[in-house]
Structure 1
Amino acid sequence: MSVSGYYAWRNRPPSPRAIRHAWLTDLITQVHTGSRSTHGARRVHAEPRLGHGVPVSHGAVKLLMRRAGPAGVTGRPRWRRSTPDQIATDLVDRQFSQSAPNQLANAIFEYLEIRHNRRRRHSSLAMLTPTEFENTTIVA
């Protein structure tokens, strides 16, 4: 490379593509920040095209996001196993005396219902939950 070519390149004004990329980078960072920094290139690409009417390709958005640094949140949240200090050592707090019939059994059924029946399958099938069944069949 010649010395004159280097100084000609250094003193040259920015190209139209560089100007457009700088403008698009600002727009992309605004959209990404507006999404609480969760959107990836696909969703960020949809906002300028559909929301602002700017013709831009998906590849250009990926390139500019890679250069500017914002990245979307990847994957879904993982289920975390509970650590031993988070596990209750005794679910009934060593209180085995009952003030009412089936009180201890109801407490255990409620725990099991909440822990293992998160989607409430009993109620969607018009069936009684274990707790409701115990409450309806209590003989005083």
Structure 2
Amino acid sequence: MLYVATAEAADDEMRRRIEEHRRRRPPAWETLEVRRGVGSRLWALGGAPPVVLLDCLSLLVSNALLDEAARRGEGPGLEDAAARAVEQELSDLLDWHEGTGRHLVVVSNEVGWGVVPPSRLGRIYRDLLGSANQRIAARARRAVLMVAGLPLELKRT
């Protein structure tokens, strides 16, 4: 099992969360920590294990959006630039998956059920993650929604 972690330790609180997450993982799992460029990093590994767990798509999308916002600001064009960045991340990941035949498990969050975010950046993020989740679920053989620790199977082909 290869665990792909997309979180970034930007502050002490997040460093503690990441460390706790590391401790909870089974010792036999390999870990790849990468905030962006997951598909290209997986290709670079060559012989990745037969199962890859990406945790999580939510942070990968956030990382892409925040990188674009830092590069160009939050003005006009941010939505399109961020959508292109997320599309590239997804395309690279799905190309790797199809090209290697490895089993890919993707963890993500559902952010569209809550209130509309008050900030433009929050609304862009919600829309980008919703689209990314739809794209991954459309390609998946199985999709499971976890609610209160209970699995709700959405799709099985």
The verdict on a shared fold, with TM-score over 0.5 as the criterion, is no
TM-score, structure 2 length as denominator?
A: 0.22
Q: Which has the higher strand share?
A: 2
Larger-Rg structure: 1
Higher RCO (CA < 8 A, seq sep 6+): 2
TM-score, structure 1 length as denominator?
A: 0.25
